[in-house]
Structure 1
């Protein structure tokens, strides 16, 4: 590899709109550029990768928690696989519960100094969360905003004038000052912010001095649906959050109206899904009790549903409802 790949970390807490923002960037990029995206999710079933499948990028998923844990091996495996395909740009989306400092350390270590040109780290924030103690007291929330060079206040169409004032005051008070900030809606990031240079070089981790891109092919594969099973469930927990995910065979179609109603009524912090329904394939996104839906052209793809909350929910009861909505119960 002759040239370093321009790379950005796009971070932000659960439900802030990272995936939508990346999809917008993929739509805005030049058609002759080949981009790669490494997606990390707290849940086990890999929803974001499915949502990005239509964006024309090379996608690699690291589900099941923070990818920088376990000595950073899952992250390195994903990055290496993407770099071998020689992309023009690499975007890394850590889980909303991840540790951005550790991701930055890995990307600036000797292992990647010949391969990656780390640009500005971009953090998305919902301005409403800057007045909510549940977020302000969360270490990951503060770390994500603290290490970012660029701050994007997203979802301003859902914010009050007071929320906007709080965001502007917060950005003004940051020391050192952020390089760039902007208020947007629907994750409409300006494409040019990807080329902003990062403010400070991150200290090398000093723990990995590999000079080659190794395979680590003996690692456990990404969670998948076995061919003999109509569905499968996987749970995860950590950092005060619980998740449960389901993968359902593509031959089983959900009732769209009933599924939408269930997601609207579900008392959970976060719900993400890409689902085959009787009306076609749709991506569902639930944050702050608001359900957004986008049609996808992924018929034949397995349905994937992930629910995340700070409380341990009755997964068995929820599973019974989901199976009934797709004719499996």
Structure 2
């Protein structure tokens, strides 16, 4: 490759709507362009790649925690694989618990100088979280916002006038000032935002950022696969005060849609994501703040994947028993 690929990092904390935003961007992309998306997830089983499968982009997943750990090996492998396919644009979605400064540092290194044209980093934030001490005291939450030149206040339709005032006051206090900001709903981000130039001061901040890894990257497999002899597998991860558990279940096992929706509505977890085969078809479930959104998918022959993330260690075995019952599987 000789041409640099326009590249954006779209960051933001858990449940802020990064995947929905990228899906909307893919819907609006020029028909003659081929885009690539590198998706990083805290959980081990990889959900976002399946959610984006209908988006018409080249997708590469790096599940299992922050992709810039272990000397950047998982991230570099994913980026290199996508660059070989010569995309017209590259979007990188770090995990909601990721370290954007380290990702920026890698993308602006000599390794990618000839191949990556890094544009402005975009951070999504739910304005309500700017009044939540749990978020304001979280280093990654603050790092994500500090590293971005563009701030998008998402889910404005769920915010109060006070939430909007807090968002605007927060923007006023930022030094250096953000280049661009906008309040949106459902991740409806205009394509033009992707072409905002990166500010050099952001690069300097990234170069001096420090990254402390507390993830286990002993296994760098890109995505866990379901062995043919097993009806399901379960994988757990933990780091930075969060715990995750994910399940992959054979596509021949169908969930009861109504009962699964009720379960996700009642589940008291920080984040739930799933692409699931049900008795009504294949659906993507997205749960944040105990609000469930559902989109029908056109996937066929794809196994069900469910991921739950919380700041407390949950009774995974009890949850597994319920999930297996809802899809007609006895515990194995």
Match of 1:315 in 2: 316
Equivalent in the alignment of 2:107: 107
Alignment-derived partner of residue 280 in structure 2: 279
Give, in angstroms, the shift of residue 286 of structure 1: 0.5
User: Partners in 1 of 2:179 and 2:222 — Cα distance?
Assistant: 39
Q: How does 1:13-28 map to 2 (within 5 A)?
A: 13-28=13-28
Aligned residue for 1:229, secondary structure, equals: coil
Question: Could you say what secondary structure the match of 1:141 adopts?
Answer: helix
Tell me the equivalent position of 1:46: 46
1:56-106 Cα shifts (integer Å, max 9, x gaps): 000000000000011100000000000000000000000000000000000
Deviation string, structure 1 residues 100-139 (Cα, Å, up to 9, x no partner): 0000000000000000000000000000000000000000
Contact 1:109/1:205 (<8 A) preserved: no
**8 Å CA contact 1:268, 1:309 repeated in 2:** yes
**Structure 1 runs, 4 residues or longer, greater than 6 Å off:** none
With structure 2 as the length reference, what TM-score do the two structures score?
0.94
Alignment of 1:184-223 (within 5 A): 184-200=184-200, 202-203=203-204, 220-223=221-224
Q: Which moved more, 1:220-229 or 1:190-199?
A: 220-229
Please give the alpha-carbon distance, in whole angstroms, between the structure 2 residues aligned to 1:118 and 1:109: 11
CA distance in 1, matches of 2:221, 2:170: 42
Aligned-partner Cα distance in 2 for 1:53–1:295: 12
2:260 match: 259
After superposition, the Cα gap between the structure-2 partners of 1:276 and 1:180, relative to the gap in structure 1 and judged at 3 Å, is same
Cα distance per residue 1:277-302 (max 9 Å; x no partner): 00000000000010111111113211
Q: Within 5 A, what are the aligned runs for 1:134-283?
A: 134-200=134-200, 202-203=203-204, 220-283=221-284
Deviation string for 1:144-203 (max 9, x for gaps)? 000100000000010000001100111111110000000000000010000000112624
SS at match of 2:2: coil
SS of the residue 1:78 aligns to:
helix
Conserved in 2, the CA contact under 8 Å of 1:128 and 1:159? yes
Quick check: 1:106–1:205 contact (8 Å CA) kept in 2?
no
Contact kept, 8 Å, 1:24 with 1:187, in 2: the verdict is yes
Do 2:63 and 2:222's aligned partners in 1 also have CA atoms closer than 8 Å? no
* 1:195-241 deviation per Cα after TM superposition (whole angstroms, max 9, x unaligned): 000112624869xxxxxxxxxxx953421111111100000000000
**8 A Cα contact 2:61 2:222, kept in partner:** no
Asked if 2 retains the 8 angstrom alpha-carbon contact of 1:280 and 1:299, the reply is: no
- Aligned pair count? 318
Residue 123 of structure 1 corresponds to which residue in structure 2? 123
- Tell me what 1:65 maps to: 65
Structure 1 stretch displaced more, 237-246 or 291-300: 291-300
Q: Distance in 2 between matches of 1:145 and 1:301?
A: 35
Q: Residues of 2 paired with 1:111 and 1:224: CA distance?
A: 31
| C-alpha distance in 2 between matches for 1:219 and 1:26 | 28
Cα 1:145–1:221 change in 2 (3 A) is closer
Q: Give the equivalent residue in structure 2 for 1:3.
A: 3
State how far apart, in whole Å, the 2-side matches of 1:16 and 1:219 are.
Answer: 27
TM-score, normalisation: structure 1: 0.95
Q: Any stretches of 5+ residues in structure 1 without a counterpart? A: 207-217
